[in-house]
């Protein structure tokens, strides 16, 4: 079975300040909670079948991954951290 893999290439920015942070966004991942359907079947107050939006993706069926990166000074090896 084929599958798509996304990779992150980490590269230290040329112009930065101490504690620099950056955020990457990877869009359009299939929601694992509803498997991309965007809804679950439920029933309304009258017992009629109704579509209930997925609480994780709000009915879109997809999620965006927001990945935070914080650049910090490297600690010396063996300092227990």
Which residue ranges make up the site for Zn ion (CB under 5 A)? Answer: 31, 33-34, 54, 56-57
Which residue's CB is nearer to Zn ion, number 38 or number 71? 38
Which residue's CB is nearer to Zn ion, number 43 or number 58? 58
Which residue's CB is nearer to Zn ion, number 13 or number 55? 55
The string of DSSP letters for 8-70 reads ------SS--TT-EEEEEEEEEEPTTTTT--EEEEE-TTS-EEEEE-TTTTTSSEEEEEEEEE
Give the shortest CB-71-to-Zn ion separation in angstroms: 33
């Amino acid at each position: 079975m084929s599958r798509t893999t996304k990779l992150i290439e980490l590269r230290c920015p040329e112009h930065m300040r101490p504690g620099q942070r950056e955020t990457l966004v990877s869009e359009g991942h299939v929601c694992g909670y509803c498997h991309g359907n965007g809804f679950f079947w439920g029933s309304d107050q009258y017992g009629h079948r109704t579509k209930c939006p997925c609480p994780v993706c709000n009915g879109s069926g997809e999620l965006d991954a927001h990945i935070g990166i914080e650049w910090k000074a490297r600690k010396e090896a063996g300092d227990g951290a």
